[in-house]
């Protein structure tokens, strides 16, 4: 006599629990993020290429910069620190701009490209939810690109420091005395803080771009920008006000006044090449209404993107 299989005695709730356990064992979110790293090489190639160009330009400028360093040694220490910090600060700015551009174009292409090349049919056949897929793509501009940029920036600055030290030694200068005034560690901590601030502040921007990427059938950049321009133009034409334009400006640049204090307690402006750690204001930034309002919009945009991916067909 045949005995009933164990599967016949399993309730739907037990079956769902087994499937959930199997899914958690395969770590779909982790592998979805790994998939983005495999498919989107610009995530790390962009910062690496710019870092190589920065180092090349720094090498070319070593001879005149070594002479300039001797001249700055006669100034008082704060001025020396700012002078020495300039090339390292410029490297940070270039790599940050690169990371921001990579994040924008990645977000615009993340959900659009899989519909364009019809690979969405394959990915939807896998046991990975639309929510997991969209969140894995959102993690790239919010977390992965800032982390990659920070690592590349640290490596670039260390290479610059070694090259500059070698040039100073070859020219007979006292490199140790010069670099005692270089606040490199403080700069790196401030850069990490800045990347974190910008990642949080720009969360609704990346969410909006992912929504457009999930919806548009072509020219994603145009669809991402044109509605915002139209809204601002209609407001100005109808009401002669600029509230929406001010709102967009605040979203792009408002992080600065909340995350940094650009005046010392004595009212002296801080040089942007080197912002001391004492001038960082994380408490003010975390309590800014614009930050939390941005999180709300980011969540809404991502929720709409998940729904669009669920029902949107290949192009």
Q: Domain map of the chain by residue range?
A: 28-311
The stretch 127-151 carries a mean pLDDT of: 94
Could you report the per-residue pLDDT of 104-134, keeping only the tens digit for each? 999 999 999 988 888 888 888 888 888 999 9
What does the pLDDT read at residue 127? 85
Tokens at 17, concatenated = 């629990």
**Higher local confidence (pLDDT), 4 or 121:** 121
Q: What separation in angstroms does the CA of 106 have from each of 80, 103, 121, 154?
A: 40, 5, 20, 23
Which range scores top for mean pLDDT: 63-77, 245-259, 268-282?
A: 245-259
Report yes or no: 86 and 273 within 8 Å, Cβ to Cβ. Answer: yes
What does the pLDDT read at residue 121? 82
What does the pLDDT read at residue 64? 56
Lowest mean pLDDT among 65-69, 159-163, 189-193, 243-247: 65-69
Average pLDDT value over all residues in the chain: 84
The stretch 239-253 carries a mean pLDDT of: 91
Side-chain-facing half-sphere of 218: CA atoms under 13 Å: 1
pLDDT grade, residue 227 (50/70/90)? very high
Tokens at 64, concatenated = 């005149």
Could you report the per-residue pLDDT of 267-299, keeping only the tens digit for each? 778 877 778 888 899 999 999 999 999 999 999
What does the pLDDT read at residue 19? 42
What does the pLDDT read at residue 175? 64
Is the alpha carbon torsion for 27, 28, 29, 33 positive or negative? positive
243 pLDDT more than 80: yes
Q: At CB < 8 A and 24+ separation, what contacts does 258-263 make?
A: 258/284, 258/285, 258/288, 258/290, 258/291, 259/193, 259/194, 259/197, 259/201, 259/284, 259/285
**Higher local confidence (pLDDT), 184 or 222:** 222
Is the alpha carbon torsion for 188, 100, 308, 118 positive or negative? negative
**Higher local confidence (pLDDT), 132 or 16:** 132
Q: Is 118 left (phi over 0), alpha (psi -120 to 50) or beta?
A: left
What does the pLDDT read at residue 126? 83
């Amino acid at each position: 006599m045949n005995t009933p299989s164990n599967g016949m005695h399993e309730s739907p709730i037990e079956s769902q629990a087994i499937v959930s356990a199997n899914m958690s064992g395969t770590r779909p979110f982790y592998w979805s993020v790994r998939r983005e790293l495999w498919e989107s090489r610009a995530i790390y190639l962009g910062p690496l290429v710019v870092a190589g160009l920065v180092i090349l330009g720094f090498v070319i400028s070593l001879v005149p910069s070594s002479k300039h360093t001797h001249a700055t040694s006669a100034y008082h220490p704060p001025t020396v620190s700012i002078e020495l910090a300039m090339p390292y600060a410029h490297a940070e700015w270039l790599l940050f701009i690169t990371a921001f551009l990579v994040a924008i174009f990645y977000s615009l292409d993340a959900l659009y490209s899989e519909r364009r090349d019809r690979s969405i049919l394959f990915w939807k056949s896998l046991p990975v939810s639309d929510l997991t897929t969209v969140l894995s793509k959102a993690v790239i501009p919010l977390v992965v690109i800032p982390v990659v940029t920070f690592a590349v920036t640290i490596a670039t600055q260390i290479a610059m420091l070694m090259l500059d030290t070698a040039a100073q030694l070859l020219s007979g200068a006292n490199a140790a005395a010069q670099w005692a005034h270089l606040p490199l560690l403080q700069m790196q901590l401030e850069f990490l803080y800045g990347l974190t601030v910008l990642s949080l502040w720009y969360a609704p921007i990346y969410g909006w771009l992912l929504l457009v990427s999930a919806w548009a059938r072509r020219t994603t950049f145009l669809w991402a920008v044109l509605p915002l321009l139209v809204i601002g133009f209609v407001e100005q034409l109808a009401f002669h006000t600029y509230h929406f334009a001010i709102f967009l400006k605040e979203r792009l640049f408002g992080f600065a006044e909340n995350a940094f204090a650009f005046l010392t307690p004595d009212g002296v402006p801080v040089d942007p090449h080197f912002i001391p750690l004492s001038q960082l204001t994380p408490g003010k930034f975390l309590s800014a209404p614009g930050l939390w309002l941005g999180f709300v919009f980011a969540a809404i945009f991502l929720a709409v993107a998940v729904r669009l991916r669920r029902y949107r067909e290949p192009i």
